[in-house]
Amino acid sequence: MKNQRSTSPKPDPRSAAVQNRRISRIPAFTPVELRGRHDGWSPVRQAEFIGYLAETRCVKQAAARVGMSRESAYRLRRKPGAKGFAAAWDFILEGPETSDGHGGRKPKVTLEKLFQRIRVGRYRPMMRAGRYVGTLQKPDVSALLAAISRLDMVAPQEDHWDDFPADHVNKKGASL
């Protein structure tokens, strides 16, 4: 008689199906912004934790590999501004088919959150053959463009091009 697998919406992270699922790509996330401490959850340490979590599927082992405790990892996950970190964590343990909790619509992003994403950037743990090999850090260009767009909407709509003095016009008549 063959074993039948149950199809629950959230598989147990300790189940064989989750343990045997190889993760080749983890989505980039914005780390939780915290005050700087040499022994705290730095952005790189957060990305390393996510990478080791993808490799081991065990919060305790992943936290130990980055020199932190399991309890502090769960505290970090509950902090304000930890949605990206928690989403990467959930992606690893639950799979890409999980819902985002917003009913299919994107959550509202404030200018403050956009500026945080611009300052911190995006981190993506890199996996090779199911093992964590390093972290790629990139600036969050989409957050920068979204912030510029929002600031452009609130800027005065006056036409300042006619206010330039004549000496700012080059030979072909275009403004500098």
User: Is residue 161 domain-resident?
Assistant: no
Number of domains in the chain: 1
pLDDT in tens, 62-79: 999 999 999 999 999 999
Range(s) of the domain holding residue 45: 22-98+107-155
Q: Average pLDDT over the chain, rounded to whole?
A: 77
- The one-letter code for the residue type at 67 is G
Question: Which uninterrupted H or E stretch holds 131?
Answer: strand 131-138
Residue 14 lies in a domain: no
- Phi, psi values for residue 134, rounded to 5°: 165, 180
pLDDT over 70 (residue 29): yes
Residue 17 lies in a domain: no
Quick check: is 6 in a domain?
A: no
What pTM did the predictor assign?
0.61
Residue 44 is assigned to a structural domain of this protein: yes
> DSSP assignment, residue 163?
G
| 3-state secondary structure at position 128 | strand
Q: Please indicate whether residue 80 or residue 100 has the higher confidence score (pLDDT).
A: 80
